[in-house]
Amino acid sequence: MNFKQQLIEWRHYLHKYPETAFEEVKTAAYVAQELRKMGLEVHENIGGMGVVANLTVGDGKRAIGIRADMDALNLHEVKELAYRSIHQGKMHACGHDGHMTTVLGAAKLLSTEKSFNGTVRFIFQSAEEIGKGAEAMMADELFERFPIDEIYGLHNMPGLPAGTIQTRPGPIMASEDNFVIRIKGKGSHASSPHMGIDPLVIAAEIILALQTIVARNINPNDTAVVSCTEIHTDGIRNAIPSNVEIKGDTRSFTPEVQAMLESRMRSICEGICAVHGAECDFEYTYEFSPTINEQRCTAVAIEAAKKIVGTDKVNESCERFMASEDFGKFLEKIPGCFVFLGSKVENEEIIPLHNAHYDYNDDVLETGAAFFAEIVRRQLQ
């Protein structure tokens, strides 16, 4: 079996048997099995389902980390494939099957060539989609048990031309903070609003007022998003509710903006509720750290990308992406770089990530594997 066929076999197996956050039991076991076949030293159950595989060549003291995410999404796959998900309501709609395969491929290349001097640690992380897997691995002393000097990761992008690589130094993906606003008013008959305190009207004021934060409180040179995405009440058609709950999230790139968003949102919500005589419970949680690339590691990734795909297919100053990635938690502790690998299928409709029709483009598996292997060769000479 040639290298590309092996990559496709791995990817199709992983796609067929998806498992969601912290439930990647068979996924982790399969990855560990394939890594052991390559002769790597494998450690399992790191921070739950996490897997770390070590490959040491020569006497070099430096260590490089290469990371893949393992979890699938709670979506029902609708595309007809020979390797379609057999788990009802679960599928790899974000390409983590391809990410795992790419890192397995890099392990295969490096374990065969042994073209470096030092240690590579292949890190397979669970629960990326909910932003908890990296933290769980670090809480289980990932970097104390398996020290590394730099860490690298990638995410496929179906909207970018296949085989292209994009990145940038500094912030590349946003934080995600979640919020819940609970408004307690006083219910009444819909015909007698004067006898109650209408939390729906208050909620409407709050939703609109929150949009002024980005427009009037955040420095225009910074970037932020405030999105209210759910609203729930305990009312019925002819009754004004007593309680309304608003949920949503915010996105930004720096701790300072995160703190500003939380502070202003709390003040607005509590202030509007107080004006109307209602009670307010405001909850704000930090879920995903921003993904901030270290400059030197980014330069390394750019040069490796140029070697693999050619200078004309590398964008070294791409736009920042407002979605979030659990890899950012690793970058708070270890310098590294995260890149985007284009996977658009030519002359076909772009199917976005987190779509029930999504499938990874097998043609970019070799590119990703070669890119990671080239980073290791450069950094462990």
Mean pLDDT on 349-374: 97
Mean pLDDT on 171-188: 98
Mean pLDDT (the chain) is 97
Walk me through the domains of the chain, giving residue ranges and CATH numbers. 3-172+291-379 (3.40.630.10), 175-288 (3.30.70.360)
Q: Cα 33 to the chain's mean position, in Å?
A: 25
CA distances from 214 to 150, 270, 291 (A): 34, 18, 21
Mean pLDDT on 261-268: 98
Residue 346 is predicted with a pLDDT of: 84
Please answer whether residues 28 and 70 qualify as being in contact, where contact means their C-beta atoms are separated by less than 8 angstroms.
yes
pLDDT digits (tens, 9 = 90+) for 24-40: 999 999 999 999 999 99
Residue 174 is predicted with a pLDDT of: 98
Reference 376, options 27, 109, 5; nearest CA is: 109
pLDDT digits (tens, 9 = 90+) for 215-246: 999 999 999 999 999 999 999 999 999 999 99
Single pTM value for the model = 0.94
Check pLDDT > 90 for residue 97. Answer: yes
- 3-class DSSP state of 105: helix
Residue 1 is predicted with a pLDDT of: 79
Which pair of tokens denotes residue 262? 């939380």
Mean pLDDT on 238-255: 97
Residue 238 is predicted with a pLDDT of: 96
- Rounded Cα distance between 115 and 58, Å, is 10
**Residues 186-204: b if buried by 16+ CB within 10 A, e if exposed:** bbbeeeeeeebbbbebbbe
Q: Write out the catalytic residue numbers.
A: 71, 128
